Structure formats: C-alpha cells, structure tokens
Amino acid sequence: MSKLLEAALAARENAHAPFSKFKVGAALEDQTGRIFTGCNVENATYGLTVCAERVAVLKAISEGARKFTRIAIAADTDVLTPPCGACRQILWEFCGNAELILVNLQGKTESLRMKDLFPRPFDASFLD
C-alpha cells in the first residue's frame, strides 16, 4: 500500500466523530511529495463540522504548499466514499484536476480525477 493511502488511513484514526461515528481520513500530496493529513472533526451543531479533505487542504495551505498532485480519502464503507459537495469545491479550487484515490479499511481502492467527480465546477475563471 502506498505511503499516501497509509497516511489517509492513519489520519482517519484521529477523527472526532462522536455523533455520526463516521470517521474519515485524508492525505494530500503536494508537488514536492510532502503529505498533509486531515480527519473529520464533528461539532454538536453539525454545521460547524469540518470534513477530512478540507482539513488536509487548509493545513497544507497554512504550511505554504500551493500545488497538489493527489489526495487519498479513507472511510470504513464497503462502497468507496467520495468527497461531499463542499469538499469537491475546495478540492477543485486548490487542487484542480488532481488524482483522487478512495480507499476503505479492507484495502479496496478506486482512482479518478476531480473532473470525473466535478465535471462543471465553479471557479475563479467565472469572476474575471
């Protein structure tokens, strides 16, 4: 198993999901090979909950990373779990058409590109 997938699975263990019990981990790789991880962090109001993918992106940005090649997302589901709509938007804006690798605890994986998941994204090009 790749370092990126292992990092996403390990990050999942740090998730704070006392309400949904749905733990997710993410590992984002930048163009230099650095890996930034994130896990979902729930809040009793749910609206303030932050997904693993967004945590990883924001953590990477806060550490100075700007160009990303791929992200792995780990969850304990038989059917591999894609990112939610809000995460798709953030991933598109910061990662573009990056490779997305979904993984579960049994090691099942699927690889796709952001354009496959988010074919008509809104981004800064509409603001010019």
Domain limits for position 45: 3-120
State the pLDDT at residue 42: 97
Which residue of the set 13, 29, 53, 93 is catalytic? 53
Helix (H, G, I), strand (E, B) or coil at 120: coil
Tokens 């949904």 identify what position? Answer: 20
Strand-pair partners of 50: 41
Planar angle of CA 10, 15, 19, nearest 5 degrees: 150
pLDDT band at 128 (very low <50, low <70, confident <90, very high): confident
Residue 54: inside a domain: yes
Does residue 16 carry a pLDDT above 80? yes
**What CATH number is given to the structural domain containing 97?**
3.40.140.10
Asked about 53 being catalytic, the answer comes back as yes
Number of domains comprising the chain: 1
Residue 41: inside a domain: yes
pLDDT tens digits for range 96-126: 999 999 999 999 999 999 999 999 999 888 9
Helix (H, G, I), strand (E, B) or coil at 91: helix
